[in-house]
Amino acid sequence: MSNTEILPGQLFIGGQWRDAAAGESIDTLNPATGEKLTTLAEAGAADVDSAVAAARQAFESKPWATMAAADRGRLLTKLASLVERDIEKLARLETLDNGKPIFESRYVDMPTIVDIFHYYAGWATKLHGETIPVRGPYLNYTLREPVGVVGAIVPWNFPLLLASWKLGPALAAGNTVVLKPAEQTSLTALELARLTVEAGFPPGVVNVVTGRGHVTGAALASHPGVDKVAFTGSTTTGKAVMRAGVETLKRVTLELGGKSPNIVLEDADLENAVKGAYNGIFYGKGEVCAAGSRLFVHKKIKEAFLEKLVERTKKLLPADPLDPKTRLGALVSAAQMKKVLDYVELGKSEGSRLVTGGSAVTVGNGKGYFVAPTIFDGVANGSRLAQEEIFGPVLATIEFSDTEEAIRAANDNPYGLAAAVWTKDIAKAHSVAHRLRAGTVWINCYNAYDAAAPFGGVKASGFGRDLGMHALESYTQVKDVWVNLKD
């Protein structure tokens, strides 16, 4: 697939492909080469209006409104099979558009999407109400209903995967969706739209509107016809999305940034903890909301630990994302690369010690956005390097001398998405896990995910849960019905 074979993107509204009403378009690039891949239509307010109207229409009419739950499940199963069939193509497209290693797109993102659609296909028939033993001659029961039109706004780090996090539960529960992928990485969402047609989803059930955040995203987040917004992205934009939904009291779920602590206690298995720290920060180029970007290491083992970690890190060379051997790809954009490199400079100016990396790397034509894996030591937990989300392959190492101190410092941060603890002491592992303020805690592992395991944050990392059965809560609402049994 050469770049020229990627056709310009259109909007997918009510089962039809169309250009933006105002004829606007934007470019999407290959971050590994800086070259344009193709153009995307940019949906303006009128297009978002059409998409929401199509979603509303589909929500309220046959066949979707009256479809048996089992048949909704079958459609999701079919969609899972189609993603699986096209896995090579989708993985390649994701890598071209995002810069992530093909190894990750092909063997992590895409298979996980297949799992997620299968998982939620199964839930379609398992969502039900209950009967409630009320006082009086009444039958009281609940119905679990879909919320209506869902606006799903997703970022560029796991483009299709995060779209599936929203689409799976939304569709299983009988909602309709207007999906807005990130402007940097919309191509796989457009492919998915094609697959929903092939799977047999009725027109209007899934709509895709591409465009920039402050144009298309803002129009969707504030649209009165949207019942719920499911958002993943930065904390700043999450706040804007929440504000935009206030007037029409939209349900909002926000999965936002993180600065997740990865805590290595004195008795940890060193080899495994080193691997966990390495994968925790360098997987996905560190452009991962749950990246283990704050590494807390007990001072007694810190020197030995860092030595091993740095040795491993020095072998991780950014390279062509399409090469199957590559494990560190290109950052998503010039803006993201600049942000990461600016943080490196900031770290140095704050007095943290740069141990390895810290600079851009030339790969291929030299125009891509590659940054060497970077480790800082001697970082103060109160410094900006340790407090702010960088969203790149930059690790802040912080030393501690007892577990209490580590827990306190780990929690002393605005975010609360994920955390990890490494120790052989099982009681300590659980007690630390209970005391960390985070939506996910990993014990002796990092970056483990599953369609069935809920994921989301506390504090500035947002609220609401994606994945698992908990995600279904926010895509459904309960109706209570009273029946008079008196004759």
Q: Is 289 a catalytic residue?
A: yes
Peptide bond into 63 cis (omega under 30): yes
Contacted entry of ligand NAI, Mg ion, none for residue 174, CB cut-off 5 to 8 Å set by kind: none
DSSP letter assigned to residue 7: P
Q: DSSP string covering 223-274, please?
A: -TT-SEEEEES-HHHHHHHHHHHHTTT-EEEEE-----EEEE-TTS-HHHHH
CB of 256 to Mg ion, least distance (A): 22
Given the residues 42, 289, 389, 399, select the one marked as catalytic: 289
Regarding 204 and contact with ligand NAI (CB under 6 A), the answer is no
What number of CA atoms fall less than 13 Å from residue 179's CA on the CB side?
A: 33
* Residue 336 contacts residue 99 (beta carbons within 8 Å): no
CB of 233 to ligand NAI, least distance (A): 3
- What's the one-letter identity of residue 430? H
CA separation for the pair 46, 18 (Å, rounded): 13
Give exposure, 355-390, as e/b (b: 16+ Cβ within 10 Å): bbbbebbebeeebbbbbbbbbbbebebebebbbbbb
What is residue 447's three-state secondary structure?
A: coil
> Which region, judged by CB under 5 A, interacts with Mg ion, from 21-29, 104-112, 135-143, 465-473?
21-29
- What's the one-letter identity of residue 253? T
Q: Which of 6, 24, 26, 28 binds Mg ion (CB under 5 A)?
A: 28
Regarding 50 and contact with Mg ion (CB under 5 A), the answer is no
Regarding 289 and contact with ligand NAI (CB under 6 A), the answer is yes
Nearer to ligand NAI, 16 or 236 (CB): 236
140: Cβ contacts below 8 Å, ≥ 6 apart: 131, 132, 133, 134, 480, 481, 482, 483
Contacted entry of Mg ion, ligand NAI, none for residue 233, CB cut-off 5 to 8 Å set by kind: ligand NAI
358: phi > 0 → left, psi -120 to 50 → alpha, else beta; which? Answer: left
Q: Which of 241, 330, 396, 471 binds ligand NAI (CB under 6 A)?
A: 241
Contacted entry of ligand NAI, Mg ion, none for residue 368, CB cut-off 5 to 8 Å set by kind: none
User: CA quadruple 177, 476, 83, 417: dihedral positive or negative?
Assistant: positive
CB of 160 to Mg ion, least distance (A): 13
Residues 383-402 that bind ligand NAI (CB under 6 A): 389, 391
Nearer to ligand NAI, 95 or 232 (CB): 232
Q: Which of 33, 95, 105, 157 binds ligand NAI (CB under 6 A)?
A: 157
Q: Which of 105, 157, 176, 184 binds Mg ion (CB under 5 A)?
A: 184
CA separation for the pair 11, 252 (Å, rounded): 24
Contacted entry of ligand NAI, Mg ion, none for residue 286, CB cut-off 5 to 8 Å set by kind: none
Q: Is 255 a catalytic residue?
A: yes
Nearer to ligand NAI, 221 or 407 (CB): 221
Contacted entry of Mg ion, ligand NAI, none for residue 265, CB cut-off 5 to 8 Å set by kind: none
Contacted entry of Mg ion, ligand NAI, none for residue 28, CB cut-off 5 to 8 Å set by kind: Mg ion
Regarding 214 and contact with ligand NAI (CB under 6 A), the answer is yes
CB of 320 to Mg ion, least distance (A): 16
The backbone torsions φ and ψ at residue 206, rounded to the nearest 5 degrees and listed phi first, read: -125, 125
Contacted entry of Mg ion, ligand NAI, none for residue 97, CB cut-off 5 to 8 Å set by kind: Mg ion
Regarding 97 and contact with Mg ion (CB under 5 A), the answer is yes
CA separation for the pair 156, 181 (Å, rounded): 7
Tokens matching residue 89: 């193509």
Q: Which residues bind ligand NAI (CB under 6 A)?
A: 153-157, 180, 182-183, 212-214, 217-218, 221, 232-234, 237, 240-241, 256-257, 289, 336, 339, 389, 391
Q: Which residues bind Mg ion (CB under 5 A)?
A: 28-29, 97, 184
The residues that are catalytic are: 255, 289
